[in-house]
Every structure is written in structure tokens, then in C-alpha cells.
């Protein structure tokens, strides 16, 4: 049984490294081909590739607060890893595991940028709706978070999470 668990976690780590590699590779390509250049329209007036060095977080919040963002992201990554290891290793929880891996990969991808450059490389821009410029790691986090919320609301039942132990006090009241 232990070998099965170790094999599962090794596969998960490999997938995690691949996801981070895709994110970091896309940011490297964007830096090499988009930095100090005009945006490149993919679908005219709808979607463009445009280089941006984001020194904040999502939607530009916490501009210049790199130490805070690095520490906060580190704590979130550790909490997500902990949660990942607590999920049962059965098919029912595979969608949730995939979501957590994608969120972790996105967080690590942006954390690497923050530590290495003091900014995150963004390059995807939906011009049609003037959505803030973002990157692949942001896609991992946002899409997975939405899917995870939908899973918890509509797919999983309360009893699916019975493996979570809650300390009971006062005769069964929490």
C-alpha cells in the first residue's frame, strides 16, 4: 500500500514540474519575443499577446509588496500541499487533486518570477473586454479554483469529507 502512495506522489510531482515548466517556458518566450515590442494581435480587437511586468498580485493589487506576496504565496503553497496529502487516494477525489495540483503549479510559477525578477511576467490580454493582462499560471489558478468550487458545491457531498477530523467539545458540539 505504501508503494502505491509513493508512486502516486511521484506521478503528481512529475505533473507539477511539467505544469511549472509550461508556465515558465511561456513566460521566457514572452520575455524574449514581446518585451519592448508592440502587442501582437491573435484575434483582432479581441485577444493579443502583450508583455507586462506585474509587480503586484491579481488585478495589480499589492503593487511593490514583493516580500509580503512571496511569504503569503509560500504559506498558501504549503497549505495546499498539506491539503493534497490529506485527500484519499481514490478516483472520487481525482478531480479535486487535479485542481489542487494546478493551483499549486500556478502559485509556484508566479512565485518563481517574484523571487527571480521581483515581478511576474504577464502576456495574455483579452482586449475585447479589457481584462487585465495575465499568464498561464494565472489560468491554472483561476480556472481550477472555479472548478474546485463547482465540485464542492455540486459533485461532492458532506459525507465525502468525513475523513476530516473535527475535534468535538461539549458533548458533540463544535
**122 catalytic per annotation:** yes
Task: Give me the catalytic one of 23, 36, 113, 122.
Answer: 122
- Whether 138 sits among the annotated catalytic residues: the reply is yes
Instruction: Determine contact, residues 49/124, Cβ cutoff 8 Å.
Output: yes
Our CA dihedral for 11, 15, 16, 19, rounded to 10 degrees, sits at 180
Which entry of 23, 36, 113, 138 is annotated as an active-site residue?
Answer: 138
Please count the other Cβ atoms lying within 10 Å of the Cβ belonging to residue 155: 12
CA distance 3 to 114: 36
Task: Report H helices in the chain.
Answer: 2-34, 66-86, 94-117, 136-150
Phi/psi of residue 63, nearest 5 degrees: -55, 130
- Cα gap 156→164, rounded to integer Å: 14
Cα distance between residue 123 and residue 30, in whole Å: 7
Give the residue numbers marked as catalytic.
122, 138
Amino acid at each position: 500500500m505504501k508503494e502505491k502512495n509513493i508512486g502516486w506522489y511521484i506521478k503528481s510531482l512529475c505533473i507539477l514540474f511539467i505544469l511549472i515548466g509550461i508556465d515558465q517556458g511561456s513566460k521566457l518566450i514572452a520575455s524574449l519575443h514581446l518585451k519592448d515590442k508592440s502587442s501582437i494581435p491573435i484575434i483582432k480587437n479581441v485577444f493579443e499577446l502583450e508583455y507586462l511586468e506585474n509587480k503586484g498580485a491579481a488585478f495589480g493589487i499589492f503593487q511593490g509588496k514583493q516580500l509580503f506576496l512571496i511569504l503569503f504565496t509560500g504559506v498558501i503553497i504549503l497549505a495546499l500541499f498539506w491539503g493534497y496529502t490529506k485527500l484519499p487516494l481514490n478516483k472520487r477525489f481525482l478531480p479535486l487533486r487535479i485542481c489542487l495540483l494546478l493551483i499549486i503549479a500556478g502559485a509556484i510559477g508566479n512565485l518563481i518570477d517574484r523571487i527571480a525578477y521581483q515581478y511576474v511576467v504577464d502576456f495574455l490580454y483579452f482586449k475585447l473586454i479589457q481584462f487585465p493582462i495575465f499568464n498561464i499560471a494565472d489560468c491554472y489558478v483561476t480556472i481550477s479554483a472555479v472548478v474546485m468550487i463547482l465540485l464542492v458545491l455540486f459533485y461532492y457531498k458532506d459525507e465525502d469529507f468525513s475523513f476530516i477530523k473535527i475535534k468535538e467539545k461539549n458533548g458533540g458540539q463544535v
